[in-house]
Chains A and B, each alone.
Chain A
C-alpha cells in the first residue's frame, strides 16, 4: 500500500504523468533526440547515485536546483546586460571597468551589497522585517515551478499550472505590503499601499488576458497550452497564439500588465524616490535590498516566461524544419527577446503618475481585456466553419473586434491631450 503511494507520488513529482493529455510530454520530437534528452539523462544519472527508495527525491531536488541555478545565473547576467543595453541606447558603453567588458560588475555589486551594514529601524517589527524580502523572493521563485522549459523539462506538471502561477504571483503583493508595514514608518506604509494598489489593479488585465488563451487551448496546464500551439501551416507559419487576433490583443495586454506587475518603467512609481516622499523599501539596506531587487527581476523573468508559454509557443520552433534545434534553446531565445523588450521600454518611456496609471488599468486595459473574452468566444465559435470565405470572415470580424474598441477607448483615454500649435511674432 505504501509502495503504491510512493509510486504515485513519484509519478506526480517526476515527469508528472498524472492527468496525461495527448501530444504532451510523451511525444518525442523528430531529429535531435539526444540533445533533447540530455538534461533528463543527466538528472537520471545523478539520481542513480542515491539508493533506490529516495531516487525520486534526488531527481526532483536536482530539477529544482537546476532551475534555481539557471535563473539565478540569468538574474546575475540580466543586471549587467540591462545596464549595458540602456547605456548603448544612451550612446555610452555601460559598465566596462570591473573585469573585461564589465563582466565582473555583478560580482562587485554583490560584494558591495553583502558587506553593507544591515540597518533595521529600532521600532520595526523584526520578524516581519526579515520575512518580507524572503517571502517576496520565495513567491517569485515558486512561479518558476510550472513553466515548461523544453519538451521534457517542466519541474512540476500541474493540471492547473496557470492558476498556480498567478496565485504565487499574488503572494508577492502580500510581501510588498509586509515590507511597508514592518518598517514602522508612516510614509513607507503609505507608499506600500500605493504600490499594492498598483499591483492589484493590474492583476485584473493580467488574468483576463490569459483567459482567451485557456479558451483556445482548452486546458489550464502550461504544457498543454504549448502543445496546442505545435502546428504549422505549410510547415512555415506557426500556430502560436500571438498570431490570432484575440491572442495578439491578449499578448499586448499581458505585456502591459506584466510591466506594471514587475514595477518596471513606465509603471515604476513605487521605486521613484524623487516623486514620493519615501518608497516602501526605504528602510531596507544591504542584502535585504538585494533580495528585493532579485525578486523583482525574477518576477519580470517569470512573467516573460509565462508570456512565452502562453502566446509565443513556449518551446515550439517557428518552422517545422527547425525542430532539430533543442526545444529549450528556442525557449531561451524567446525569453531573451521578451526581456529585451522590457529593457527597451525602460530606456524609452518616462514614468506615469499614479492616478494616470490607475486610470489606464481600470478604464482602458480592463475593458479591453473583457472585450477580448468576447472576441475569443467568437473566434472559437467560428473555428469549425467550412470554406475559406467563412474563415476570412472570421479573421476580419475578430480583428475588427480587437481594433475598434482599442481606437474608441484610446480616444477616450487621450482626450484633452494632443499636439498644439503656437504663434510667432516677428
Chain B
C-alpha cells in the first residue's frame, strides 16, 4: 500500500444488517453458529442450510456455497472450494521454470497472457533479465486485450446470472471471439497461449497482426456503446444490482481485495500506476474508481476500464517499435537463476496476480507460490452476502469475478 493512500474513515467494515436482526461482532474462528443472529419470535422458524453447488449453473466453476437461510435471508455463508485443485504449486517445484509457463496459462484460464506476464516478470527479476522494447509493447497490448476479454466475459456472465436469457452473453462472446482469433493468430492457441518467455515474447507478431489488432480495438467502443445501451440504463438491471453486495472501502483494504472490486469500493489503487511495471508509465490513461462498492458499481467500473484499455491499445498499437522480441542473453534450456527470491506482480483483469519464487540455483524453483486475486477476493463473500437473498448471492458471486482455476490452483 502506498503511504499516501487516502483511506476513508473506517467503520467496523461489515455491511449494515436489516433491522430485524441483532449483530454481534464477528468471531473469526467460530465456524458453527450463524454470522448474524436472527430474532427469535413466533414468525421466525428454524434455519435452513442449503448447499449451492458444486454442480450449479451459476457458480462459475466447481464451487460450493453452504448457505444458512432464515426464510429467504442469508444469515451465514461458507464458501467451499478445492474441487479444482491441481497441485500447481507443488508441480512448480518439480518442473523447470520454462515448463511451468504452460501451467500458468491454466491458472486463470480466461487471462492466459497476463498470467504469463506475471510469471515472466517474477523470473526476470530473479535472473536479472531485461526485455527489449518491442516485447514490452507487445506485452502491454496483449495485457490490455486480455483485460477487454475478461471484462466482456464478466459483463455477459453477470447478466446471464440476472436472468437475461443469454442475449448480453452472446453479444459479449461475439466480441470476445475477435480477440481470441487475434491470440490464435499470434501464439497458436486461443486461450492457453504460453506466449511470454523470460526476456521477452516467444515469437514476433506475424505480418498484418498489428493491423488486425488495431481494427479490433477501433471496433470496441461501438460494441461498448451498444452493450451499455442494453444494460446500463435498464431499470431492471439497476433494481437487481444497485444496493446489492455493498463493500466498504475499509473492509476491502483490510481483506486484501484488489482489482476492480477495490476500485469500485472507492479506493484508487491500480498497480499499473502504483508499480509502473512494463512500459505503462509511457501511456496516458485514467483509472476509474468510486461509487458505493455494490454490484452495479463493480460492473460499471469494469465497463469504464474497458474504455480506458481501448485508449491504451490505440496508443500502444500506434507506437510499437521494430526490433527483436527476445533478450539475446536469455537461454531456453539450462536456465538456472542464481539463488535468491523474487515477487513479480501485475494488475491482472481480476486483481493483483503475483508469483513468488525462491531459487536455490537449480533448474527447478525451490518454492513457487501464486497469489491469486480471485482467491483473496473470495474471502469477503460472506460479508457481502449477509442480509441478502439467494438470488442476490448468485449475482454478488458473479460480480466478484472468480475463476476456480485460480482459486484452487
Contact A275 B239 (CB under 8 A): no
Contact of B161 among A274, A356, A425 (CB under 8 A): A274
Contact of B165 among A265, A353, A354, A420 (CB under 8 A): A265
**Contact A350 to B240, CB < 8 A, known contacts A86-B165, A422-B300:** yes
Within 8 A of A (CB), among B292-309: 296-297, 300-301, 304
Contact B166 A86 (CB under 8 A): yes
Question: What B residues does A273 contact at CB under 8 A?
Answer: 57
**Segment among A39-47, A288-296, A410-418 that sits at the interface with chain B:** A410-418
Contact A272 B288 (CB under 8 A): no
**Segment among B146-154, B183-191, B227-235, B249-257 that sits at the interface with chain A:** B227-235
With both beta carbons as reference points, the residue of chain B lying nearest to A275 in the complex is identified as B391
Contact A418 B163 (CB under 8 A): no
Tally of chain A residues near chain B (CB < 8 A): 38
B138 → A minimal CB distance (Å):
25
Contact B290 A426 (CB under 8 A): no
B241 → A minimal CB distance (Å):
9
Q: Does A352 reach chain B (CB closer than 8 Å)?
A: yes
Question: What B residues does A354 contact at CB under 8 A?
Answer: 389, 391
Q: Does A98 reach chain B (CB closer than 8 Å)?
A: no
CA distance A416 to B294 in the complex (A): 13
Within 8 A of A (CB), among B301-322: 301, 304
Q: Does B273 reach chain A (CB closer than 8 Å)?
A: yes
Contact of A349 among B236, B288, B289 (CB under 8 A): B236
Q: Does B394 reach chain A (CB closer than 8 Å)?
A: yes
Contact A347 B167 (CB under 8 A): yes
**Chain A 155-178 interface 0/1 with B at a Cβ cutoff of 8 Å (1 = within):** 000000000000000000000000
Q: Does A385 reach chain B (CB closer than 8 Å)?
A: no
Within 8 A of A (CB), among B385-405: 389-392, 394
Q: Which of A91, A351, A421 counts the most B-chain CB atoms under 10 A from its CB?
A: A351
Contact B167 A422 (CB under 8 A): no
Q: Does A419 reach chain B (CB closer than 8 Å)?
A: yes
With both beta carbons as reference points, the residue of chain B lying nearest to A348 in the complex is identified as B167
B382 → A minimal CB distance (Å):
19
Contact of B242 among A90, A272, A353, A416 (CB under 8 A): A416
Q: Does A89 reach chain B (CB closer than 8 Å)?
A: yes
B52 → A minimal CB distance (Å):
8
Contact A417 B166 (CB under 8 A): no
Q: Does A95 reach chain B (CB closer than 8 Å)?
A: no
Within 8 A of B (CB), among A380-426: 414, 416-426
Q: Does A102 reach chain B (CB closer than 8 Å)?
A: no
Q: Does A277 reach chain B (CB closer than 8 Å)?
A: yes
Question: What B residues does A426 contact at CB under 8 A?
Answer: 286-287
Contact of A353 among B273, B286, B290, B392 (CB under 8 A): B392
CA distance A64 to B232 in the complex (A): 48
A291 → B minimal CB distance (Å):
23
Contact B163 A275 (CB under 8 A): yes
**Chain A 318-361 interface 0/1 with B at a Cβ cutoff of 8 Å (1 = within):** 00000000000000000000000000001111111111100000
Q: Does A97 reach chain B (CB closer than 8 Å)?
A: no
**Contact A353 to B391, CB < 8 A, known contacts A424-B287, A425-B286:** yes
With both beta carbons as reference points, the residue of chain B lying nearest to A360 in the complex is identified as B239
Question: What B residues does A266 contact at CB under 8 A?
Answer: 163, 236
B295 → A minimal CB distance (Å):
12
CA distance A265 to B233 in the complex (A): 18
**Chain A 237-269 interface 0/1 with B at a Cβ cutoff of 8 Å (1 = within):** 000000000000000000000000000011011
CA distance A277 to B66 in the complex (A): 12
Q: Does B203 reach chain A (CB closer than 8 Å)?
A: no
A80 → B minimal CB distance (Å):
17
Question: What A residues does B180 contact at CB under 8 A?
Answer: none
Contact B300 A349 (CB under 8 A): no
Question: What B residues does A347 contact at CB under 8 A?
Answer: 165, 167
Question: What B residues does A422 contact at CB under 8 A?
Answer: 288-291, 297, 300-301, 304
Contact A91 B289 (CB under 8 A): no
CA distance A89 to B243 in the complex (A): 30
Q: Does B384 reach chain A (CB closer than 8 Å)?
A: no
Q: Does B140 reach chain A (CB closer than 8 Å)?
A: no
Q: Does B58 reach chain A (CB closer than 8 Å)?
A: yes
Contact A425 B287 (CB under 8 A): yes
CA distance A23 to B273 in the complex (A): 78
With both beta carbons as reference points, the residue of chain B lying nearest to A266 in the complex is identified as B236
With both beta carbons as reference points, the residue of chain B lying nearest to A347 in the complex is identified as B167
CA distance A418 to B233 in the complex (A): 8
B227 → A minimal CB distance (Å):
13
CA distance A265 to B236 in the complex (A): 11
Question: What B residues does A275 contact at CB under 8 A?
Answer: 163, 390-391, 394
With both beta carbons as reference points, the residue of chain A lying nearest to B242 in the complex is identified as A417
Question: What B residues does A418 contact at CB under 8 A?
Answer: 238
**Contact A274 to B56, CB < 8 A, known contacts A351-B163, A420-B297:** yes
Question: What B residues does A91 contact at CB under 8 A?
Answer: 170-171, 174
A344 → B minimal CB distance (Å):
11
Contact of A419 among B56, B166, B232, B288 (CB under 8 A): B232
Q: Does A116 reach chain B (CB closer than 8 Å)?
A: no
CA distance A350 to B145 in the complex (A): 28
Contact B170 A276 (CB under 8 A): no
CA distance A258 to B167 in the complex (A): 22
Within 8 A of A (CB), among B261-306: 268, 270, 273, 286-291, 296-297, 300-301, 304
Within 8 A of A (CB), among B131-187: 159, 161-167, 170-171, 174
A410 → B minimal CB distance (Å):
9
Q: Does B237 reach chain A (CB closer than 8 Å)?
A: yes
A78 → B minimal CB distance (Å):
16
Contact A425 B232 (CB under 8 A): no
Question: What A residues does B301 contact at CB under 8 A?
Answer: 422
Contact A350 B268 (CB under 8 A): no
Contact of B289 among A272, A417, A424 (CB under 8 A): A424
A189 → B minimal CB distance (Å):
13
Contact A350 B162 (CB under 8 A): yes
CA distance A268 to B236 in the complex (A): 13
Within 8 A of B (CB), among A86-131: 86, 89-92
CA distance A277 to B289 in the complex (A): 35
Question: What B residues does A421 contact at CB under 8 A?
Answer: 290
Question: What A residues does B171 contact at CB under 8 A?
Answer: 90-91
Question: What A residues does B394 contact at CB under 8 A?
Answer: 274-275
Which residues of chain A have a CB within 8 Å of any CB of chain B? 86, 89-92, 265-266, 268-269, 272-277, 346-356, 414, 416-426
> What would be 7 A-B contacts, judged by CB atoms less than 8 Å apart?
A348-B230, A349-B164, A350-B165, A350-B234, A417-B242, A424-B289, A425-B273
| Extra A-B contacts (13), CB below 8 Å, given A350-B237, A422-B288 | A90-B167, A273-B57, A275-B391, A275-B394, A349-B236, A350-B162, A352-B236, A417-B235, A422-B289, A422-B301, A423-B268, A424-B287, A424-B288
